[in-house]
Structure 1
Amino acid sequence: MGIFERYLSLWVALCILFGIVAGISVPGLFESMAAFEFANVNLVVAVLIWAMIFPMMTAIDVTSLKAAGRQPKGLILTLVVNWLIKPFTMFGLGYLFFHGFFAGWVDTADANQYIAGMILLGVAPCTAMVFVWSQLTKGDPAYTLLQVSVNDIILVFAFAPIAGFLLGITDLSVPWNTLLLSVLLYVVIPLIAGVLVRRHLLRKKEGEQRLLSFQTAVKPVATIGLCLTVILLFGFQAEAIISNPLVILLIAIPLTIQTYLIFGIGYAGAYFLRLPHRISAPACLIGTSNFFELAVAVAISVFGLTSGAALATVVGVLVEVPIMLSLVYMANKMAPVFDRRAR
C-alpha cells in the first residue's frame, strides 16, 4: 500500500477539519460550487466521485458478470439487508432516539423531521461510493457491479412505496431526474469508459502488464478524489455544523449506530453463508452506505430546503465517510477469517 492508502483515515480527518475551516473562511467559494448542480446532483462532486470510481471500472471484465450471477448468495444477502431490514431498523432507531432518549431536547415537530430524513437515507442503498469501498477492500469488481445494478433496478420500484409507507405519505414524489442522472453518472458512464480503456490496453502487446501499469498510475486519483470530496461536503455544510453542533450530534448518534448495526447484520449473514471476503465485503458495504444524492433531493422536494429532514440527510453524508473507512478497516482485518471459512 502507498502512503495515501496506508494513512487514508488520517488524510480524511485532516480533510474534514480543512473543509470546515475553509467553509467558514471562504463561504462564497463553496456557495458558488454548491450552486453548480443539475437535478439536485452537484456536478463538482460528481466529477470527483467519477474519478474515484473509474479506476475500479477498468478492473471489470464484463464476461465475468455471468460467472458472478452464478453465485447468488452474496446478491441475496445484500437484497435482504437493503430492502427487508435496513429501512425498518432506521425507522426504529430514529423513533427510539428522538421520541425516547432525546425527547426532552427536541420538540416533537423537529423530531418527526429528523426521523423522516433518516428514513429517506435508510431506503436508498448506495450507488456510487460503494465502488470506492469495494476497491479499498479488494472486492470482486464484477460482483460489486452486479449487486449495485440489481439494487438500482429494485430502487426504481421500491423506493417510493417503502419510504411513503414509513413516512405516512401516500403520494410521495420521486425525483426521477436525480435518480436517473445519478445512475448515469456513477455507474453507466464510468463503466463504459473503464471497459473501453481495458479493451484498448489489452489489445496491445503485453496488454496485461500495460493494464496493470495503468491501474497503478491512476490509483492515487481515486484517493485524491475521495479527499477532495470530503473537503467539499464538509465545506458546504460548515456553517450548519458550527451553528447547530448539538443537533448535528443528536442526529449523528442514531445514524452511527444504524451504520454499524446494518454492517454487523450483513457480516453475520455473510459469515453464516460462507461468503469469501471479495464478495462479503462489498455485499455488506452496499447496504451500510447510502445513496445520499437521492435522499437529499427527496427531502428537499418534499419537506423543503431548510427542513429538519433535509438537515438529517446531510448529516448522513457527513458521518458516512469516516464510519465507512472504519468498516473497510474491519472488513480487511477479517478477510482471512472469511476466506478460510469459504473454502
Structure 2
Amino acid sequence: MSIFERFLTLWVALCIVAGIALGHLAPGLFHTIGAFEVAKVNIPMAVLIWLMIIPMLLRIDFAALREVGTFWRGIGVTLFVNWAVKPFSMALLGWLFIGWLFRPYLPAMQIDSYIAGLIILAAAPCTAMVFVWSNLTKGEPHFTLSQVALNDAIMIVAFAPIVGLLLGLSAITVPWNTLVLSVVLYIVIPVIIAQIVRNRLLAGGGQAGLDRLLATLQPLSLAALLATLVMLFGFQGEQIIAQPLVIALLAVPILIQVYFNSGLAYLLNRISGERHCVAGPSALIGASNFFELAVAAAISLFGFNSGAALATVVGVLIEVPVMLSVVWIVNRSKGWYERGASVKPTAQQQHI
C-alpha cells in the first residue's frame, strides 16, 4: 500500500473540509455542476466515477473464474455473506438505527434517503481495495482474484434487483429507469471497456504493459475519488454544519455491518475447514464495500444533495481504518483459527 493509500482517510477528511468551504464560497459553481445532467445522470460525476472504476476493473481477469472450484468452501461462504446476508443485514441495521433509534436526532425528511444510501453501500462487494487487504493478511492470491471476478460477474445482474427489492421493502420509491441506467453506466460499460483494454495490452505488451498502465492510472483514480468527495461535500456542507452528528450516527450501522459480516465469514470458513489464507480475504471481501459504485448509484438515484449520497460518503470515510482493523484481527487470530478441529488437518497438510 502506498503512503497516499495508507493515509486515504486523512485525504478524505481534508476533501470534506475543502468541499464544505468551497460550497460556501462558490455555491453557484456547484449548482452549475449539479445541473449538467442527462437522464438524471450527472455527466461530470460520471466521468469521475469512470476514472475511479476502470483502473480497478483492469486488474480483474475473468478467466480466473476457472479457479473457483479449487476454493469452493471459501467461495461459497463469501458468496453467501456478500449476497444473502450483507445487503439484508444492512437494511435491518438501517431501519433499526436510522429509522428508529437515531430518528429524533436526524432530519426527518432525509431518514428514508439515509437508509437507501446504506442499502446501496452494502449491495456491492468491494473490488480493488480487496487486493490490498488480502496481501496484508498473506491471503491466497488466486482465491482473491477468482472471488472478485465472480462477484463482479454477479454484480452485473444482481445489483439492481437487490437494491430495488430492499428499497421497495423500505417503502422507498424505486426509480427503476435510473437504477438500471446506473448499472449499465457504472458496471456493464466499464467492465466491457476494461476487459477490451486489458486483453489488448496483454496481447501487445504482456503483463508489463498492463502494469505500466495501472501505475499511471492509479494516481488518477485516487484523484478522481477525492475530486468526487469535494463535489459531494460542496453540496452537503450546509447540512453537515447544521447537524455535525449526522456522520457519526450514520457510521454506527456501517461499523456494525463490517464487523458482523467479516466475523461471520471468518467463522463459517473455520467451521467448513477452509485454510486461513483463504478465510482472511474471504472475511475482508465479505465485509467491504464497492464504495465508488455506491456513491455513483446514490447520486444517480437521489441526487447530490440527498441523504443517500451522504450515507455512501460516510462509507468512504471509514473504509480504510475499519478494514485495517479487520486485517489486524485476522492476523492476530491465525493461531486460534488453525486450532479449529476442522481446519487443523488442512493446516498440517501445508507443511508436508
TM-score by length of 2: 0.74
Asked whether 1:315 is paired with 2:315, we answer no
Distance 1:179 1:81 in 2: 21
| 1:144 Cα offset (Å) | 0.9
**What is the identity, as a one-letter code, of the residue corresponding to 2:94?**
G
**What is the percentage of aligned positions where both structures have the same residue?**
29
Q: In structure 2, do the counterparts of structure 1 residues 186 and 241 end up closer, same or farther at CA, with 3 Å as the change threshold? A: farther
- Tell me whether 1:134 sits opposite 2:138 in the alignment: no
Indicate how the Cα distance of structure 1 residues 231 and 40 shifts in structure 2: closer, same or farther if over 3 A, else same.
same
Structure 1: stretches of 5+ with no match in the other structure? 203-207
Aligned to 2:236: 237
Deviations 1:153-212 (A, max 9, x none): 223444333432x2247x85523223322223443323332333233221xxxxx44444
Q: How big is the shift at 1:264?
A: 3.8
Match of 2:77, as an amino acid?
L
Name the CA shift for 1:10/1:153 in 2 (closer, same or farther; >3 Å).
Answer: same
Q: 2:325 aligns with which of 327, 330, 341?
A: 330
Instruction: Give the match for residue 284 of structure 1.
Output: 287
Instruction: For residues 94-124 of structure 1, give each alpha carbon's deviation from its aligned partner in whole angstroms, at most 9, with x where no partner exists.
Output: 34335653455469xx38x614641563266
The aligned amino acid for 1:184 is V
Residue 201 (structure 1) aligns with:
205
Which residue pairs with 2:43 in the alignment?
43
Q: Which residue of 1 aligns with 2:344?
A: none
C-alpha separation in 2, matches of 1:84 and 1:63: 25
- CA offset digits 1:310-341 (Å, max 9, x no partner): 42x12212201121112332344456568885
Contact 1:252 1:315 in 2 (8 A): no
Q: CA RMSD in A?
A: 3.7
Structure 1 residues 50 and 33, CA, compared in 2 at 3 Å: closer, same or farther? same
Please name the residue that 1:10 is paired with: 10
1:52-75 deviations in whole A, cap 9, x for unaligned? 333343433343222236534444
C-alpha contact 2:81 2:286 (8 A) present in aligned 1? no
Assess if the C-alpha contact under 8 Å between 1:121 and 1:316 holds in 2: yes
Q: What does the per-residue CA deviation read over 1:13-59, in whole Å, with 9 as the maximum and x for residues that have no partner?
A: 22222222222222222222233333444333333333333334343
Q: Which residue of 2 aligns with 1:223?
A: 222
For the 8 Å contact 1:120–1:295, the answer to whether it is kept is yes
Q: Partners in 2 of 1:242 and 1:88 — Cα distance?
A: 31
The unaligned stretches of length 5 or more in structure 2 are 136-140, 339-346
Kept in 2: contact 1:24–1:235 (CA 8 A): yes
The aligned amino acid for 1:198 is L
Contact 2:164–2:176 at 8 Å: present in 1 too? yes
Question: Are residues 1:122 and 2:123 paired?
Answer: no
Paired residues in the alignment total 324
Secondary structure of 2:64's counterpart equals helix
Distance 2:43 2:9 in 1: 25
Contact kept, 8 Å, 1:124 with 1:159, in 2: the verdict is: no
Distance 1:66 1:3, change over 3 A: same
Q: Give 2:157's aligned residue.
A: 153
Paired position in structure 1 for 2:176: 174
Counterpart secondary structure, 1:71: helix
